[in-house]
Amino acid sequence: MALDPRLLEILACPEDKGPLLYFPDEDALYNPRLHRRYLVEDDIPNMLIDEADAVEEAEHERLMARAESEAIAFTFAT
């Protein structure tokens, strides 16, 4: 089950307050500015900064290429 579209419209990174990319099949929200991934567990986004995963450059490039090729939009427009 994917996150509610209404939630995605307002969901932001708790650290920089910017929009996120949502990868439903990876159960993850990604902040490309901070290279930080927030996991979605049981359809609940874990937005705790201390529990986010740091993303290495190769993984960042993979996620960004995927977002571009699949037209994955940010959670909200800035």
3-state DSSP assignment of residue 29:
strand
Domain that holds residue 34: 5-69
Please give the pLDDT value at position 39: 98
Count of the separate structural domains present in the chain: 1
76 in a domain, yes or no? no
Instruction: Give tens-digit pLDDT for 28-63.
Output: 999 999 999 999 999 999 999 999 999 999 999 999
Q: What is the DSSP letter of 33?
A: T
Q: With cut-offs at 50, 70 and 90, classify the pLDDT of residue 25.
A: very high
Q: With cut-offs at 50, 70 and 90, classify the pLDDT of residue 69.
A: very high
CATH of the domain at 28: 2.20.25.10
Whether the model pTM is above 0.85: yes
3-state DSSP assignment of residue 7:
helix
75 in a domain, yes or no? no
Please name every residue paired with 44 in a beta bridge, in sequence order, or none if there are none: 41
Residue 73 clears pLDDT 90, i.e. is over it = yes
